[in-house]
Amino acid sequence: MNKLALFGFCIVVFFAALAVFAPFIAPSDPNQIDIKNILSAPTSEHLLGTDQLGRDLFSRMVYGSRISLSIGFIAVGIATFIGIALGSIAGYYGGKLDSLIMRFIDIMLCFPTFFLILAVIALLEPSIFNIMAVIGLTSWMGVARLIRAEILSLKEREFIEAARACGAGDFRIVSRHLIPNAIAPVLVSATLGVAAAILVESALSFLGIGVQPPTPSWGNILIDGKATLGVAWWLTLFPGLAILLTVLGYNLLGEGLRDALGPKRGAI
């Protein structure tokens, strides 16, 4: 793994550790109001300062990492599951079923993804679960195309013919032989997808239709800081840096995985 990918991995591990150990790292309740310390600048007591209600920004950032990363992982999990299922069916069976699935993918790709998400979220009640589901249900098309292309190149190989000769059924061939050998580019896509999902969640929360207060997420912390940008720079700087570093970390890790898994994939 190259140095940039290692750097990305370290960033990913750092923010994952913040999310997992949030109750032990955060110095206070993220929703605890302290009117004596409203818009307090970073000090030894409040490492990243406080917001308009005197809530500790460091605590809110730490707990916000849980929300943002959870949305990223679960949304990508949904997208990956749908993409693998439909891409495997299209690639393995081919014919009219393949054409039908691919035309459906083409139709989905015609819609600007972010505006489609905005439209769906506007019709639904804004909540963490709705955001996870909508992002996942609108971002599976790339995974489906990747897995279909891999299965098309693998299904005529000798080891698949051997599995058929041994009496293996379609489900066993796809699940035990084709998908495991076609998963490498999907892992890369999923890693990059986490970064994209975090950006989408942050944008939705910034627009006020994402994670709703008082639940902290990096996006709604950013929008809290917009009104006081001239007097409380820390409310914008720190969540912005967290989003930037997290997205950078997953992108670097994804590029590293692409370099590491590429030769293996070509040698199958």
pTM for the whole thing? 0.86
pLDDT of the residue at 265: 41
Q: What is the pLDDT of residue 80?
A: 93
Closest CA to 114 of 139, 143, 149: 139
pLDDT tens digit sequence for 116-145 = 787 777 787 777 888 888 888 888 998 999
CA distances from 111 to 83, 114, 117, 119 (A): 17, 9, 10, 11
Distances (CA, A) of 256 to 57, 151, 232, 252: 33, 23, 37, 6
| Domain residue limits, the chain | 61-266
| Vertex 134 angle, CA 73 and 144, to 5° | 70
173-184, pLDDT tens digit by residue? 888 888 888 888
Look up residue 63 and give its amino acid.
Y
For residue 7, with 0-12 CB atoms within 10 Å meaning exposed, 13-18 middle and 19 or more buried, which class applies?
middle
| pLDDT value at residue 184 | 83
As to burial, measured by CB atoms within 10 angstroms (0-12 exposed, 13-18 middle, 19+ buried), residue 227 is exposed
Ranges of residues in the chain with a pLDDT under 70 are 1, 262-268
pLDDT score for 262: 62
Q: Name residue, tokens 């960033």.
A: 11
**Can you identify the CATH homologous superfamily of domain 61-266?**
MetI-like (1.10.3720.10)
> Which residues, in sequence order, are bridge partners of residue 56?
50
